[in-house]
Chain A
Amino acid sequence: MMNKILTIMWKDVRVLFGDWATVALIIAGPLVLALGLGLVTGGFGADDGLAISRIPVLVVDQDGGPIATALRDVLTSDDLSDLLAPEALADADAARARVADGEAAAAIIIPPGFSDSFLPDAMTGDMPAAVAAQVVADPGAPIGAAVVRGIVEEFTARVATSVAGVRLGLTQLATSGAVPPSELAAVGQQLGEGAFGDTTNAAAASLIRIDRQSVTTTGGDDFNALAYFAPSMALLFLMYAVTLGARTLLAERREGTLPRMLAAPVSAGQVLGGKVGGIFLGGFMQLSALILLTTLLFQLNWGNPLIVLLLVVAAALAATGWGLLIAAAAANAGQVTSLGMAVTLLFGILGGSFVPLENAWPALDALSRITPNRWALDGFTALASGETAAVLMPVAALLVMAVVLFAVAALIFRRRQGALLTA
């Protein structure tokens, strides 16, 4: 009996993987998309030559004063050479035009009077009106422009803080009488020299350190974007693979091959078992092939192989349940394809395959729990970080999902497609 079921299963798997365009979609598709998403999130690290490009920034110094020069020095310093690609320009309008054309992420225009506006009046000690540096941002390069603005803001804040420290120190010395008025100018000069020696010293300018940590379930700071996007894309296309399999249920009925099978010495149960098993096996093989390929090609660590196998089986079962439900609800094979693709894409966006939907509507988060994508992705990311126990919940949820969906699909089939095996 098992031989007959296995034969039917194997036939369906051969049909699924026998079409090069299908293989391209369910195997090459997730690989290409995971690689692409990994590249744009910069998760491959700097060592493999795939790091994000340097930010092109144009610098127009119309001031020429000491603080403008110090700012230019900061922008061209070795510390920022991996981050910025600065280019000096003389014409502010030309810089604006190039940013508008998307040739640079931002332009920094340092207007005349910029340096002088940081320094208090020598006679009165009053501060002149601030002359602000202009950061012209390309809205098409939001992150680069924000980084440039952040660097300029940090620099000017550091200089302004140093100047304020000098002014305050001098004021305190004068009002306390610690320094006679005749010596104030000389002391102010000394304080200024000491303060501006620090303007390029980041440590001196920072009192509060921000310790940034990537919270990843794939091993601390060594975040590999593929560890997230490879399973997320594999699961996205798993859903499509099972709907392609489920499609054959209705396609074979339309073509009359299912009833013809009954002419052979097989029972209806064996035929249906073989068909459902074929859907499951197709999904299982697609997911397994992607895991193997990403392990071999990108040295991706998926975690304990046995638990990975358990999770793959559970995910393929749950996805098969959805495939059966779609087939049960659809009127014809074409509808299975359309509904299957729609469900695949909806589950993909709900499960965070395209862009993370964090901080969104709570109902959306709850809705994502009905997708195999969400549970399986939780399991795979937990596994990759070695949290084996944390996989139990996703596996249990996927199995429960499979049981419920199989039962519902069977009920609908019984009511709506009772003639499945008859012409």
Chain B
Amino acid sequence: MLNKLTAIIRKDTALRFEGRSELLFFLILPLIFTFLIGGGLPAAGGGGDNRLLVPVADEDGSPRSAALLAALADGDVVRPEAMSRAEAEALLADEDAAAALIIPAGFGAALSADGLAAGQEAAVTLLVSPTSNVAPAIEGEVNRAVSALARPLLVARNATEGVAAVRPFADETARAAFFAAALAAAEAEAAPPARVVTEVAAGGNAYDQRAQASAGQLITWVFIPLLGASGLFVYERLMGTLRRLLTTPTRKSTFLLGAIGSQYLAALAQMAILVLFGVLVMRVPWGRDPVALIVVLATFGLAGVALGTALGTFVKTEGQASNLSIMLGMAMALLGGAWWPMELFPAGLQQIVRVLPTTWAMSALTDITMRGQGVADILPEAGVLLAFAAAFFLVGLWRFRYE
């Protein structure tokens, strides 16, 4: 039986890779997608500075607006670049930037002693692209910079208003003098100590777009060809080789095991390459718990190839198998959280997509790469993936016909 299995696996592998174009989908495109979506390219115009470009139109030109620009630059997330409003809007429109900051004329005046006393409001405009996945990070940085700029002013204003409430000033001049002295003192103060510290649960890593892309693209690009295994059954059926097998002493289970085995082994090899690429190029911590990783990838592969087997008993032509595997693979990857974090989904949808194997696979891979979890933690996901595999195999066996 082992000889027959080996022969079938060798034949199917040769069939699959007989054209060089298979390498496009097996290797080249998955690597390109992982690299691009994971942010592998250097940022535009940064000269090695990979922080996110944020065009800033400083229409005020005051020391306060310059201070805001400096506060924004004083971080490791964004790279502000001063330019005109038209240039900033053009960069945004061309999707060369995810957000642009406009500091309007009058910004500095509103933050002066007179402006604050008169109750003037300082405002900046943050233009964001609604489809960008990095815009929230930029918004957070703008908030931080604005808070840093406003803090001494707020302290001085609070002090002045507080004092005015309990010991009213003699006149506006006295109030202004008090505010000026308070502001000078507040600006001279050292930066306040951190009042919030962030830690990642269970010693995992902070969210990393590279880890999300590496895991998500692995699921997408491995799952589609596994579903495409359905095409193999159609091919054999149409070529009549399955019927011919009846004349040989080969059992149905041997043939099925061989056909599935070749796809499964290829998927394992593909996953190994993508994991290695993730480790070596994208610096994703795949190797934190190798046993957990092997368990997840092995069970995910089984669920995928089982679904492909079941699908193969429904489709009638190779074209149908190819089209369906692409559509189902992409849709299930997207809905399983492989392209975007699951938290972005509406609550109801988060529950519905638990019927997909991709959801459980992505959850387990996130546990390993980001949450720092081990074998014991991913066993529930692995169990569900095995259950999926069993269910799909049963459907495949039940519906399998030689003709």
Q: Which residues of A contact B (CB under 8 A)?
A: 19-22, 24-25, 28-29, 32-33, 36-37, 39-43, 50-55, 96-97, 99-102, 105, 107, 129-130, 132-146, 149-150, 152-154, 156-157, 160-162, 164-166, 168-169, 171-173, 178-179, 187, 190-191, 194-195, 198, 205-217, 223, 225, 228-229, 334-335, 337-339, 341-342, 345-346, 349, 352, 354-362, 364-365
Shortest beta-carbon distance from A144 to chain B in Å: 5
Given contacts A102-B371, A145-B207, 10 further A-B contacts (CB under 8 A): A40-B334, A42-B344, A52-B346, A142-B206, A172-B163, A173-B167, A191-B166, A342-B29, A360-B39, A365-B94
Assess the B196–A132 pair: CB atoms within 8 A.
yes
Assess the B92–A168 pair: CB atoms within 8 A.
no
Assess the B22–A168 pair: CB atoms within 8 A.
no
**In the complex, residue of chain B having the shortest beta-carbon distance to the beta carbon of A152:** B196
Assess the B345–A210 pair: CB atoms within 8 A.
no
Tell me, in angstroms, the Cα distance from A342 to B21 when the chains sit together: 9
Assess the A225–B36 pair: CB atoms within 8 A.
no
Tell me, in angstroms, the Cα distance from A20 to B330 when the chains sit together: 18
Chain B contacts with A in 147-170, Cβ cutoff 8 A: 147, 149-151, 153-163, 165-167
Tell me, in angstroms, the Cα distance from A135 to B202 when the chains sit together: 13
Is B370 among interface residues, defined by CB-CB distance under 8 A?
yes
Assess the B22–A338 pair: CB atoms within 8 A.
yes
Assess the B97–A43 pair: CB atoms within 8 A.
no
Chain B contacts with A in 14-46, Cβ cutoff 8 A: 19, 21-22, 24-25, 29, 32-33, 36-37, 39, 41-45
Q: Give the number of residues in B that approach A within 8 Å (Cβ atoms).
A: 123
Assess the B155–A356 pair: CB atoms within 8 A.
no
Assess the B126–A210 pair: CB atoms within 8 A.
yes
Is B358 among interface residues, defined by CB-CB distance under 8 A?
no
Shortest beta-carbon distance from B308 to chain A in Å: 15
Assess the B207–A191 pair: CB atoms within 8 A.
no
Assess the A143–B324 pair: CB atoms within 8 A.
no
6 smallest CB-CB distances across A and B, nearest first, come from: A165-B158, A142-B207, A53-B347, A21-B320, A338-B21, A100-B202
Assess the B181–A166 pair: CB atoms within 8 A.
no
Assess the B111–A208 pair: CB atoms within 8 A.
yes
Assess the B128–A137 pair: CB atoms within 8 A.
no
Chain B contacts with A in 39-87, Cβ cutoff 8 A: 39, 41-45, 52-53
Assess the A208–B150 pair: CB atoms within 8 A.
yes
Assess the B155–A168 pair: CB atoms within 8 A.
yes
Tell me, in angstroms, the Cα distance from A171 to B48 when the chains sit together: 47
A102, A187, A194, A339 — which one has the most chain B CB atoms within 10 A of its CB?
A: A102
Assess the A164–B192 pair: CB atoms within 8 A.
yes
Contacts of B247 in A (CB 8 A): none
Assess the A41–B189 pair: CB atoms within 8 A.
no
Interface CB pairs A-B, < 8 A, 5: A132-B196, A166-B162, A342-B24, A352-B95, A365-B96
Tell me, in angstroms, the Cα distance from A141 to B94 when the chains sit together: 29
How many A-B pairs have beta carbons closer than 8 Å: the answer is 366
Assess the B199–A136 pair: CB atoms within 8 A.
yes
Assess the B162–A165 pair: CB atoms within 8 A.
yes
Is B182 among interface residues, defined by CB-CB distance under 8 A?
yes
**In the complex, residue of chain A having the shortest beta-carbon distance to the beta carbon of B133:** A355
Task: Name A139's contact: one of B178, B201, B350, B363 (CB within 8 Å).
Answer: B201
Is B335 among interface residues, defined by CB-CB distance under 8 A?
yes
Tell me, in angstroms, the Cα distance from A169 to B24 when the chains sit together: 69
Q: Quick one: given A134-B199, A361-B44, are A165 and B157 in contact (CB under 8 Å)?
A: yes
Shortest beta-carbon distance from B51 to chain A in Å: 9
Assess the A140–B167 pair: CB atoms within 8 A.
no
Assess the A143–B146 pair: CB atoms within 8 A.
no
Task: Name B19's contact: one of A153, A191, A334, A360 (CB within 8 Å).
Answer: A334
Q: Quick one: given A212-B139, A358-B97, are A43 and B130 in contact (CB under 8 Å)?
A: yes
Contacts of A365 in B (CB 8 A): 44, 94-96
Assess the A29–B96 pair: CB atoms within 8 A.
no
Contacts of A29 in B (CB 8 A): 326-327, 330-331
Contacts of B342 in A (CB 8 A): 140-141
Assess the B92–A146 pair: CB atoms within 8 A.
no
Assess the A208–B92 pair: CB atoms within 8 A.
no
Tell me, in angstroms, the Cα distance from A74 to B150 when the chains sit together: 22
Assess the B126–A212 pair: CB atoms within 8 A.
yes
Assess the A342–B98 pair: CB atoms within 8 A.
no
Tell me, in angstroms, the Cα distance from A323 to B167 when the chains sit together: 81
Task: Name A362's contact: one of B25, B45, B154, B341 (CB within 8 Å).
Answer: B45
Shortest beta-carbon distance from B210 to chain A in Å: 12
Assess the A140–B146 pair: CB atoms within 8 A.
no
**In the complex, residue of chain B having the shortest beta-carbon distance to the beta carbon of A161:** B154
